[in-house]
Every structure is written in structure tokens, then in C-alpha cells.
């Protein structure tokens, strides 16, 4: 899968011609729903043999960073005691994430609040930008979400070892189980710990990709059924778009809250 993503970064995904052929052959000229995930080089750039081009993915990440920065700066420019509507939105998002960190990690975790807040706002903005027509969903690429998840995993593990030293290995030994069961359970615990970055990244990527593919397929149905029959498909489309906005928020929330849960595990080990 990762090789495929890398190949997609390098240019045309493998077998795209073939896929388009089958899609056209089976559905009678429906557009390829995977076309929206294609990465385009906006400014080609080679760096010591690496393809470091400025792509549409990078562009949307920069837009997201810009939107978040401008929004928070503009919303909080007055800092009035009685907040304006925009300031309320900024305070609401701050309070939301702060409450999430406080509930799941405790006051010891507030040190890591800026990271979780940045992560939540970044993923949320990328997901929401992806909902705009003709835009590009950065989080629908596993390479992006896996990089985020791998960074979180490594960081949280480093925090665990830094806080507890070698005692952190006790995390893999569940307390209160018979010694006979331990060899099996420790292996299971280690595997479940190591799959965390994979499940964290695939969850976000799969939700985004599946949702956008579904929207594109239904959009093609609307066009294919035409003026007479397209209305039913269009109604579905509207409902699914609403669901996708919910999923876009929910996945950012889940991504952030799981980061909090992993942080809590690293800071407090067994609760």
C-alpha cells in the first residue's frame, strides 16, 4: 500500500489506465471516482534525487495552516470579556480540546495541550477543506495520516520511557493475571501497542477516502440518471454530504482523543 502511495506521489498511480478502462467498460462511461485523489505537481522540484515537488497536497496543507492561524488571530484580536460571535467560536474550540485533554489525561497532560490542539485543528481543517467542491482532501492519503500517526506513536513512546524509564515495559504486563497466561498476554499487548499507529492512520485515511469515493460515485449517478431520475440520487447526495461533514469532524475528534488516550497510557501507565 505504501509503495503504491509512493508511486502515486512519483506520478501516475500504477494501473490507472487499466482501472479507467474497467470503470468505463462496466458502468458505461462513468468517471473514475479515484481521480479526485490524484496528486499533481504544481512546482516540480528535485532535491538530491528526491522528488520534493510542491504538490496540491502541500498547497492544501499550507492553506489549512494559514486558515487556522488567520482564524485564531482574527477571532481573538479584540480579546473582549464578553466575546463576539467569532471569538466565541475560537474560545469554544479551545475549551473543547482543553476539556478533552483534561478529562482523558488529567492536569499532567495540559503540558501537551498545544500539540493536541494543533493536531485537532489541523486534521479538522484538512477534512473540512476536503468537503469543498473541487478541493483536495489531504487526509485521504495514507502517507500523510501515517506520518502523523507515526510521529504521535514515537513521541508518546519516548514520553513513556522518559517518564518511567525501563519500568515502562511493565505497561505490557497486565496486572492481576495468572503467571501461566503471561507469555501469551504480553505478546498480545505488545502487538496491540505496535499496531496503534497503523490503526490510527488507517482509520482516518479509510474514512476520508471511502466517504469521498462514495460521494463521487453518487455524483456520477446524478449525472447519469439525468433530469428525470437524478433527483433521488441527488437527495441521497445531500444526505451523504451532511453525513460526511459529521464524519470529517468525528474523525478529527477521534484522532485527537486517541492521541490523548495514548498520552494518558504513557504518562500514567495502568490507571
The residue among 12, 66, 77, 72 whose CA lies nearest residue 38 is 12
Q: Is 206 in the site for another protein (CB under 8 A)?
A: yes
Instruction: For the segment 220-239, give every residue that binds another protein (CB under 8 A).
Output: none
Among 9, 13, 87, 113, binds another protein (CB under 8 A): 13
Cell, residue 111: 503540558
- Which is nearer to another protein, 125 or 251 (by Cβ)? 251
Cell, residue 271: 490507571
Q: Is 210 in the site for another protein (CB under 8 A)?
A: yes
How many Å separate Cα 97 from the centre of its chain?
16
User: Which of the ranges 67-75, 228-236, 237-245, 251-259 carries the binding residues for another protein, by CB under 8 A?
Assistant: 251-259
How many Å separate Cα 198 from the centre of its chain?
12
E-strand spans in the chain? 41-43, 46-47, 50-51, 54-55
**Does residue 60 contact residue 40 with C-beta atoms inside 8 Å?**
no
Q: What is the C-alpha to C-alpha distance for residues 219 and 240, in angstroms, rounded to an integer?
A: 11
Alpha helices in the chain (DSSP H): 2-10, 16-27, 56-75, 85-105, 113-130, 142-164, 182-194, 196-268
Instruction: For the segment 30-69, give every residue that binds another protein (CB under 8 A).
Output: 34
Among 1, 52, 177, 181, binds another protein (CB under 8 A): 1
- Which is nearer to another protein, 78 or 195 (by Cβ)? 195
The terminus-to-terminus CA distance of the chain in angstroms comes to 36
Instruction: For the segment 17-36, give every residue that binds another protein (CB under 8 A).
Output: 19, 22, 34
Q: Is 15 in the site for another protein (CB under 8 A)?
A: yes
> Count of CB atoms within 10 A of residue 69's CB?
11
Q: Is 263 in the site for another protein (CB under 8 A)?
A: no
The residue among 178, 198, 260 whose CA lies nearest residue 186 is 178
Cell, residue 232: 433521488
Q: Is 207 in the site for another protein (CB under 8 A)?
A: yes
Among 66, 199, 238, 242, binds another protein (CB under 8 A): 199
Among 90, 202, 222, 225, binds another protein (CB under 8 A): 202
Among 93, 137, 157, 251, binds another protein (CB under 8 A): 251
- Which is nearer to another protein, 6 or 184 (by Cβ)? 6
The site for another protein (CB under 8 A) is made up of: 1, 4, 13-16, 19, 22, 34, 199, 202-203, 205-207, 209-210, 213, 250-251, 253-254, 257
Amino acid at each position: 500500500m505504501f509503495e503504491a502511495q509512493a508511486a502515486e506521489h512519483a506520478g501516475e498511480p500504477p494501473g490507472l489506465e487499466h482501472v479507467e478502462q474497467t470503470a468505463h467498460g462496466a458502468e458505461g462511461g462513468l468517471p473514475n471516482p479515484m481521480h479526485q485523489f490524484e496528486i499533481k505537481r504544481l512546482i516540480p522540484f528535485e532535491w538530491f534525487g528526491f522528488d520534493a515537488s510542491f504538490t496540491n497536497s502541500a498547497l492544501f496543507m499550507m492553506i489549512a495552516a494559514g486558515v487556522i492561524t488567520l482564524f485564531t488571530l482574527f477571532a481573538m484580536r479584540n480579546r473582549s470579556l464578553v466575546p463576539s460571535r467569532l471569538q466565541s467560536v475560537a474560545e469554544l474550540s479551545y475549551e473543547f480540546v482543553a476539556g478533552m485533554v483534561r478529562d482523558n489525561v488529567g492536569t499532567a497532560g495540559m503540558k501537551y495541550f498545544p500539540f493536541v490542539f494543533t493536531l485537532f485543528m489541523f486534521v479538522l481543517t484538512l477534512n473540512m477543506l476536503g468537503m469543498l467542491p473541487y478541493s483536495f482532501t489531504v487526509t485521504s492519503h495514507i502517507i500523510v495520516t501515517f506520518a502523523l500517526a507515526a510521529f504521535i506513536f514515537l513521541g508518546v513512546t519516548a514520553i513513556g520511557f522518559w517518564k518511567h524509564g525501563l519500568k515502562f515495559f511493565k505497561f505490557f504486563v497486565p496486572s492481576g493475571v495468572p503467571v501461566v497466561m503471561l507469555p501469551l498476554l504480553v505478546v498480545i499487548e505488545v502487538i496491540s501497542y505496535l499496531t496503534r499507529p497503523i490503526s490510527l492512520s488507517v482509520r482516518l485515511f479509510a474514512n476520508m477516502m471511502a466517504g469521498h469515493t462514495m460521494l463521487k460515485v453518487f455524483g456520477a449517478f446524478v449525472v447519469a440518471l439525468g433530469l428525470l431520475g437524478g433527483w433521488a440520487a441527488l437527495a441521497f447526495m445531500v444526505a451523504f454530504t451532511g453525513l460526511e461533514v459529521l464524519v470529517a469532524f468525528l474523525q478529527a475528534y477521534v484522532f485527537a482523543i486517541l492521541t490523548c488516550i495514548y498520552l494518558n497510557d504513557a504518562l500514567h501507565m495502568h490507571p
